[in-house]
Amino acid sequence: MDLERFARGLPGLPALPRGGVLLQAIGAEVRSHVEREWFGAPPHRLALSWPRPRGLAAHPHDPRPADAERGRRIIAGVLALEDAALRLGEAGDPFNMPSPSRRFAVALHRFAWLPELVAAGPPGTRRALRLIADWRRIFSRWNGFSWSGECLERRVFHLACAARALASDASDAEIADLALDLARGARQLLKASDAPDRTFERAVIVAIAGCVLEGPVGDRLITAGLKRVERDMEAIVRPDGGHANRSPEAGVELLFDLLTLDDALGQRGRPSPEGVTRAIDRLSSATRFFTLADGHLAAFHGGEALPPARIAAALAHDDAGPRPPDTARHSGFQRMQGGSLQVMADTGPPPTGPLSRAACAQPAAVEIVCGKDRLITSCGWSPEAPGAQAFRLSDAASTVSVGDGSAGRPLSGFRARALGPWLVDGATQVEAKRHDAEGGVWLDITHDGWKRLGLTHARRLFLDAAADELRGEDSLVPLVQG
């Protein structure tokens, strides 16, 4: 057995028993402590900086829409990120003042403002260069927050996509600093183990950064990134295009990153690996499947209801793709379509291990759209949105709950601090049977999320296409003792 993949909890491998979670938490805490000590040590800092890159090469295109108007507001001195804003004036330094919230600070150190400043044209690139210099002056040396994977992953991506645009207004010394920032960040991403559920996405970003850097430094990063991408591709991108963590939003965001990688490799004169091309096709198909009739994305397992403009940007490379099927068997979702009614049902068990950091204990949950109006929704919770972990429990979604209990729960206390808020004690057996009937379609879902109470939840739905009517019933059935 591949012990590294077992520890990361990738699909296709058995989950550890409950006591194993504590062992993993202890191991993760020890590893985290050792990494913090090593990452701050002079030998590691030196290794991140050498050899130095020669300069910049590719200019990868990120298909995500950027708001130039927000960039112009930053130029005018108002930096609005997430849930708060700072008034900086024309030359203020946000890295040398308190952030109004932690979410603001994370977005700030992710350089979430960089695409919007680049979209604002030359005044934006000049302001961006000053902000990056401000960051570098204080945070270029490793520290536990700014260099954590939570901040570093997106910062490397944004720098890679913006570096060539910034270079048009930069001096030779500033270009060299940008290239070194990018090389150091990408090398650190290869070393960190703080988020095993993000290993694949980080490998994609490392390869993108390698495409941007000239010479052997860039070539080595491309090779290292693509090796990891090809190793984990089939485990992360399901055959029907769903992401292994079962979040529709995660699949769309990965599609954006892979499209960026494909563009970057093309600019370097390197063909994309066959697996990358295949994953882009699968993720595109899944994006169509999860886009509901109101134009927004279905919101399940830590994914939000992305707006139509973002979905259109993800599919702009292939906007004439085929109509998606009504079943995503590998991802665990079913879609039912009537005249104006549309139903999306969660028909799979929640992910386990590291991939469950944002999973929800809500088997058999549904979202229902009538025309352009979403009548019944999932909880819509995500790690990027404010809100308690309680939104991940059964009673926060359109599924059955029993008393004050839940069909699964996120970790808490020491285990959550060490591993992240994994979902545990969730449903392990979820079955869905679909069959067409005269004038409509039946969908039967059963799951064992309430097995500790000796119950099975059975949900039966019938969508009458002729009458444009949805009927359903829920049952709690005693488990048969074998």
Locate all alpha helices (DSSP H) within 168-198, ordered by sequence: 172-191
State whether residue 248 is helix, strand or coil: helix
Task: Answer whether residue 430 is part of any domain.
Answer: no
Domain span at 128: 18-236
Question: Quick check: 44 pLDDT over 80?
Answer: yes
- pLDDT value for 387: 66
354 found inside a domain: no
* Angle, vertex CA 455, rays to CA 376 and CA 299, nearest 5: 25
Residue 3 has pLDDT above 80, yes or no: no
Please give the pLDDT value at position 9.
Answer: 43
Angle at 320 between CA 317 and CA 321, to 5 degrees: 85
Burial tier of 17 (Cβ tally within 10 Å: 0-12, 13-18, 19+): exposed
Q: 300-324 pLDDT, tens per residue?
A: 999 999 999 999 999 999 877 778 8
Q: Which of 458, 274, 304, 450 is nearest to 380 (CA)?
A: 304
* Confidence band, pLDDT 50/70/90 cuts, at residue 6: very low
Residue 22 clears pLDDT 70, i.e. is over it = yes
DSSP 8-state code for residue 227: H
Q: Is the confidence at residue 481, as pLDDT, over 70?
A: no
Between the two ends of the chain, the Cα-to-Cα distance in Å is 31
Task: Scan for tokens 């390197």, then name that residue.
Answer: 270
Residue 17 has pLDDT above 60, yes or no: no
> pLDDT value at position 14?
41
Residue 62 backbone dihedrals phi, psi, to 5 degrees: -90, 115
C-alpha 194/C-alpha 196 separation (Å) is 6
Whether 314 is covered by a domain: the verdict is no
Q: Is the sign of the CA dihedral 147, 94, 117, 56 positive or negative?
A: negative
Say if CB 457 and CB 440 are below 8 A apart.
no
d(CA 320, CA 414): 49
CA distances from 31 to 25, 35, 36, 363 (A): 10, 6, 9, 34
Question: How far apart, in whole angstroms, are the C-alpha atoms of residue 216 and residue 55?
Answer: 11
Exposure string for 43-67, b = 16+ CB within 10 A, e = fewer:
ebeeebeeeebebbbbbbebbbebe
Please give the model's pTM, rounded to 2 decimal places. 0.95
In angstroms, the CA 426 to CA 407 distance is 5
Average pLDDT over all residues of the chain: 93
Assigned token pair, 80: 């609005």
* Total structural domains within the chain: 1
Q: Residue 19's pLDDT is what?
A: 61
When pLDDT is averaged across residues 218-241 and rounded to a whole number, the result is 98
- 274-297: per-residue pLDDT in tens? 999 999 999 999 999 999 999 999
Average pLDDT over residues 124-129: 98
Query: What confidence tens digit (pLDDT) does each residue in 343-356 have?
Result: 999 999 999 999 99
Residue 214 within any structural domain of the chain? yes
Q: Is residue 307 part of a domain?
A: no
Q: Is residue 286 part of a domain?
A: no
Report DSSP letters for 85-130, one per residue.
Answer: EEE--SS--GGGS--SSHHHHHHHHTTTTHHHHHHT-HHHHHHHHH
The answer to whether 242 and 333 have CB atoms below 8 angstroms apart is: yes
Which stretch of 151-165, 275-289, 385-399 has the lowest confidence by average pLDDT?
Answer: 385-399
Residue 254, pLDDT > 60, answer yes
CB 457 within 8 A of CB 366: no
At residue 482, does pLDDT exceed 70?
no
Position 5 scores a pLDDT of 41
Say which residue the tokens 């882009």 belong to. 280
In a domain, 288, yes or no: no
pLDDT of residue 11: 42
pLDDT at 16: 46
In a domain, 124, yes or no: yes
